[in-house]
Chains A and B, each alone.
Chain A
Amino acid sequence: MNECIDCIGDFKDDWPSTAGGVRVAGVHVSGVCVSGVCVSVVFYPADFAVRWSQCSATADFFAEYFAAVEACRSDDPAARDEFIGTLSYVVNELVENAVKFSVGETVEVTVGVEDGELIVMAANQILATTATPLGEKFRELLAGDPQELLFARVEANAEDPEAGVSGLGFLTMMADYAARLGWRFAAVHDNPHNVLLTTMARLEVRKP
């Protein structure tokens, strides 16, 4: 696992056309789905526009599925509800984002459990021109105090009734769910106009 805040670095002018170019910010796992239980769902572009209720159904599927996986399973109903609520929230936020910002290629959602950690990933292609400003945003998220950033963002939203997005998805995951986030930008080899963005959230599994 690499963990870094500044390693996203500066995108060069010709990025991502440099073959195999990868940039990472925050927590990142290179070997997910090696040993533990792991499930992926791929949405193909013909399924878009995915409705919000379908994001919700996807989140509920993963939450129910992993609640029955031995590493996460609990006989205590309250602990089970807590697990389902948490995983469902995080998956739903990542899927909503991936669908919202996808530029029409596949969206892949993966959840795995390894070494007492739940790993949630959503991968979608974005326009290469948006990679640098996004990377800058992620770096700000990782460098600040999540709670303070959340409070400031909510106050700013309240001042701006026209704000089209709340920007609270990542902040609530970090501040309220103690999720550790990471992003990976990778060149798309047959399309220099797009970049494959993988967002990752890592959560501790608390066994009662």
Chain B
Amino acid sequence: MSDTEIKGPGYRVWFDAEAATVHLEGSLRLGTAEYEPIAALLNSVIERRLAAISLRMTDLVFLNSSGINTLYKFAIAIRKLGDIAVHVDASSTISWQSKSLPNLRKFLPGITITLH
């Protein structure tokens, strides 16, 4: 497993450095501890201190509450640094995204979210 890609049954999380984009795909319903590698990947992206990054979640069909927690923590970590612009590509037809993603604006006020 590389530090820019995590694969498991039914999911894949990977960082495309050229496009400065983290892709989250599939169905993520892991236990809290099992999210640690994904949190580490997200933190490693933060440590690159890029001016702007994107999160692409249009193919992330399910995310359980532990995963949502991981995502919100990522947003708060970026807010604390204050100098990384974040854009989210999401899907309006995926239930958890239309319901829970708008909360990201609370944790990272400058974030932009596009619903496809």
Contacts and interface: CB of A to CB of B under 8 A. Distances in A.
Contacts of A41: none
A166 B71 CA distance: 12
A1 interface: no
Interface range on chain A (Cβ under 8 Å from partner): 20 to 34
Contact of B65 (A78, A82, A155, A172): A172
Nearest to A172: B65
- Please classify how large the interface on chain B is, using the bins under 10, 10 to 19, 20 to 34, 35 or more: 20 to 34
A116 B115 CA distance: 29
A88 interface: yes
B77 interface: yes
B31 A172 contact: no
B65 A154 contact: no
A89 B95 contact: yes
**Secondary structure class of chain B's binding surface, majority of residues:** helix
Interface string A76-95: 00100110111011001100
Q: Does more than half of chain A's interface fall in helix, strand or loop, or is it mixed?
A: helix
A144 interface: no
Interface stretch (A24-32, A49-57, A180-188): A49-57
Nearest to B72: A154
B69 A168 contact: yes
Contact of A158 (B34, B64, B73, B94): B73
Contact of B69 (A78, A85, A154, A176): A154
A34 interface: no
Interface of B: 9-10, 27, 29-34, 61-62, 64-66, 68-69, 72-73, 76-77, 93-96, 99-100, 103, 106-107
